[in-house]
Structure 1
Amino acid sequence: MWKKLIGTIILGGFAYAGYDYYRAGFHTAPTHQPGDFLLSYSNGFRAVMRGIDDEKADRTYLGYPANNVPSWYQDTWSICRPPSDEETRAFTTHVEIGPGGRLDAVCEIDTDGDVFIRGWVASVPDL
């Protein structure tokens, strides 16, 4: 009986991991370069963090999707880059992240040469 129970728990764990992987869209992630890392949010915002240090152990990443994104791009992976000083100032005047918070990335989608902002990724200390 214990073997069946343990087997069921292990099988359930694998099933949930597969479901979570599929739900987050990692199966559709684009090929990424060494040093890139992926972030996926339940609202459909998906980000390939490029040229940005992975600080998941020390910080919590917050995704802020843009409001004016067409529905057919809601689940598209965006490429994120470090923000310029001007972009950081503009973001912090509109969004209050709180103490220790910072803007880490501006995420864009390139549609046949027409690039638009998909969203922003900020982070706060993981206390």
Structure 2
Amino acid sequence: MSFPKDPTGELLELMQGEGIDLSQPYMLDFYVLFNDEQQGRLAADRIAKEYPDSGLFLNQGEQNQLWELRLVKEMVPEHGSITEIETTLQALSKKFKGKLDGWGMLEPEDDDVDDGLDHLPG
């Protein structure tokens, strides 16, 4: 399978090369960064309305002190679907001064690891 030559396509190609079955659903993480907690919380409230069946987590980074909002969504990792979510997240977080910071996933055998992040009620 070939992918577009962009960051999402490159990551999907890498995942395929690692033997990950891209026809199966996985828990994907999408990231948006904020300069302050309040803006992150306001954006999270708005994003929760758009993705009610997804997990949302907001935590402050230890190194850069930015607030990271993480949307966790179970889905098949398809280029079009991922790009659509990123476009929506960028549009929803723009008025809260959020900056899209990409997406990723844990390796399939690591999906059930508790990462200790605070869960935002949805």
TM-score, length basis structure 1: 0.28
TM-score, length basis structure 2: 0.28
Q: Which has the higher contact order (CA 8 A, sep 6+)?
A: 2
More strand by share: 1
